[in-house]
Structures are given as C-alpha cells and as structure tokens.
Amino acid sequence: MPGRYKDKLEKLLPEVDGWLSPGEIDKINFLVNTIMSTRQKQSIFSSDHLSYLPDKNEHSEKKILSSYYSAYIKIADGCDNHCSYCIIPFIRGPYRSRTIESVKEEVKNLVKHGVKEINLIAQDITSFGKDLSGGKYQLPELIKSLLKIKKLEWIRLLYVYPEHIMPELIDLMKHEKRICKYLDIPIQHIDDKILKTMKRQSSEKSIRKIIENIKENIPDIALRTSVIVGFPGETENQFGKLKKWIKKTEFDYLGVFTYSREEGTPAYSLPGQISKKIKEKRQAELLKIQSEIAHKKNTNRIGYTFRTLVEGFQDEELKGRTEFHAPEIDGDIIIEKGKASEGKFVNVKIIDALEYNLIGEIVK
C-alpha cells in the first residue's frame, strides 16, 4: 500500500503515525524511535535505493529469514516485465539487482553461522544483473561465484521467468550437484491468446520447448509452476486447453490462482470479466488434477533413497526435505525410523507415499 499509494495514504489515514515504503523496511526501528522521541508523524518513501539490500561495500551480517540451516537470499527487487494483471512494477518499481559481491558476502556470513541451504529469490531471478551489465543476464555467473563457498550444500532457484532460462543455466544445473534439481517457473497459462492479453513474453510453443529442454537435459528435475484461471475473456475451450496441458505435462507442484482485478493494471478494464463462482470452479478442477499427479509421483518414489535435510519434529516424528522440496511449500518426508539432529543431512529410504508427503526411514 505505501509503495503504491504513498501520495494519498497520509491524507486518507491520518491516524497512522508512520509510513515506510517496501524498499525502506529495514528502517522500521529508526522510524519508530523517531516517532516516539519527537511525538510527530514520520514517513519514509523511496523506491530508488533499496536500503534493505546491501551493496558491494556493505559487510554487515543479515538476519536469517528461515531457520539456522536454511535461508532466503533476495538478489533483486522490482520488475520490468509489466504483465497486464500485475501490480508489482507499480509497488516495487523497476528491476534492480544487487552486485554479485554483495550476495556472495551475505551467503558467506550465513554459511559461517551454519546455513546449509540458500534459496535465491526475486520477482524474476533469471533477469539478475541485466540492469548492471548492459543487458547481460548474470545468474549463471552469480551461481558459479556462490559455488566457491565451502560448506554451502544446496542452492535453490525460485521464480525463474521461462523466456530468460539460458542454456548455460540448464547446463550448470545438469552438472553441479549442489544446485538443487528444482525450478519454480511461473507459466500462468498455455493459450496464446490469453498469454498475449496477459502481456507475457511467452507463447505456447516457447513454453513447451523450454519445459521439454529442461526435462531432456535434467530428467530427474522437480518442476513447480503457477497458473491463473478466470483471466478476463478465458473461454471454456481455453480453460480446457490449460487443463489438458497440466494433465500431460505433470508438474511436480502446481499453484493455481484465481484472477484478481488490480486497480491501475491494464487487465482491470478488460471486457469479459469472469464471475467468482466460475473462477473458483476452474481452480478446484485443476487442483484435483494436480493432487492425483502429485500422489502418483510420490508413489513412484517408494523404494528410492534420497539425501534429506532434517528439519525437526512433526507430531513427535522427524521430518525433512529433499532437494525436490522447497521450504514450507512442497511437502515433507516424515521419518518414521531412525534418529538425526535438526539441520543435518541423512539418507532416507521412502517406504510409503501420501498425497503431498512421503514416509521414510533413515538408512546408512
């Protein structure tokens, strides 16, 4: 809200004592202390410099955003894609990357304190570095730099834009064991007309090609995607095409979102707005299809042994994750037999499968 309506909020909500834009969130203490000491309202609005993302000259240790063994690393903020339904460019501003040096320094500090897994995040991590290098995508270069850090066990890539996935990145994932065989690729739809109206850079042909290329080069990769149903003008035939594609492609994980009108976006005023009832019906249909796919994939993992990061207890039983599970969103392995400490890696043999979770036992 402050990022989007900063010129209006102070007048609309005079009872609020202080405002911060998203790029200044690390200044919350300063804001509160200033308000308390001066007894005056304060506002800090900026989108040019993201003060919570350190630059190459800053070596202060950052807070761990997950557990002591796993952390999220934000490598950029903002977005230049300007999809017709999305408000992020209005809130977060244009795409701004950190330097490779600042990311590496933060990861080194975290690893020094016991972090074993880092999850690289941004609105689009595949665009990393393009704003600092005259348009050159530098994600592979960043990953190579991070791989030089000893004791860093897993690097996970979240939110990769399909059209920016380079052959160099796929090759790097194929040959480097410490990069999790996992990609989160938000596709949004498969119908060309819908994709064009969404102002996506993708087409049905390009999406199919990139998915096939990834699976061909990394057969054991786990893929997550997200789609939007009920976009303005989406016909039953177009939804049927999406449904058929989801069945055939068999993603490991799928997020299904109903279209939400965002004031100020091009899609807000499009004709053919679809009712909430139809949107939720379509969402339920896709989620049912995905639940069957997920259970099938989990069942196929029975009998296999996976390197597993132990995360503690759930209902008095150990739980953990493989490289195929992103933190908090993709399910767990419930470890019914064996002992291990939180934050340690163990080998777990899968003995049973649920819809989204696996059941296993520790083996040597």
Q: From start to end of the chain, where are the E strands?
A: 18-20, 42-44, 70-74, 76-77, 96-97, 117-121, 154-157, 179-184, 222-229, 253-258, 305-314, 317-321, 333-337, 345-353, 358-363
Q: pTM of the prediction?
A: 0.87
Query: Beta strands 179-184 and 222-229: pairing type?
Result: parallel
User: Mind giving me the DSSP string for 215-282?
Assistant: HHH-TT-EEEEEEEES-TT--HHHHHHHHHHHHHH--SEEEEEE----TTSGGGG-S-PPPHHHHHHH
Name, in order, each residue with C-beta under 8 angstroms of 89's C-beta and a sequence gap of 6 or more.
78, 79, 80, 81, 82
Q: Give me the pLDDT at residue 311, please.
A: 92
Compute the Cα dihedral for 44, 265, 226, 173 and give only its sign: negative
Q: Give me the pLDDT at residue 362, please.
A: 96
Q: Give me the pLDDT at residue 60, please.
A: 46
Q: Give me the pLDDT at residue 59, please.
A: 45
CATH of domain 70-299: 3.80.30.20
Compute the Cα dihedral for 26, 30, 36, 38 and give only its sign: negative
CB contact at 8 A, 306 and 321: no
Q: Give me the pLDDT at residue 51, please.
A: 53
Q: What share of the chain is helix, strand, coil (3-state, %, to 5)?
A: 35, 20, 40
Report domain extents, the chain: 2-44, 70-299, 305-363
Question: How far apart, in Å, are the Cα atoms of 19 and each of 15, 73, 313?
Answer: 11, 25, 39
- What CA–CA distance (Å, rounded) separates 9 from 32? 18
CB contact at 8 A, 196 and 159: no
CB contact at 8 A, 355 and 298: yes
CB atoms within 10 A of CB 328: 11
Q: Give me the pLDDT at residue 52, please.
A: 53
Name, in order, each residue with C-beta under 8 angstroms of 112's C-beta and a sequence gap of 6 or more.
none
Beta bridge partners of 229: 258
Per-residue pLDDT of the chain (364 residues; tens, 9 = 90+): 787 777 788 888 989 998 887 777 778 899 999 999 999 988 877 655 555 555 544 444 555 555 689 999 999 988 999 999 999 888 888 899 999 999 999 999 999 999 999 999 999 999 999 999 998 999 999 999 999 999 999 999 999 999 899 999 999 999 999 999 999 999 999 999 999 999 999 999 999 999 999 999 999 999 999 999 999 999 999 999 999 999 999 999 999 999 999 998 999 999 999 999 999 999 999 999 999 999 999 999 999 999 999 998 877 889 999 999 999 899 899 999 999 999 999 999 999 999 889 999 999 8
Q: Give me the pLDDT at residue 49, please.
A: 52
CATH of domain 305-363: 2.40.50.140
CB atoms within 10 A of CB 171: 13
Give the residue from 143, 132, 59 showing the smallest Cα distance to 97. 132
- What CA–CA distance (Å, rounded) separates 130 from 77? 13
Q: Give me the pLDDT at residue 100, please.
A: 95
Q: How far apart are the first and last CA of the chain?
A: 52
Which token pair is 154? Answer: 């897993």
Which token pair is 342? Answer: 């939180």
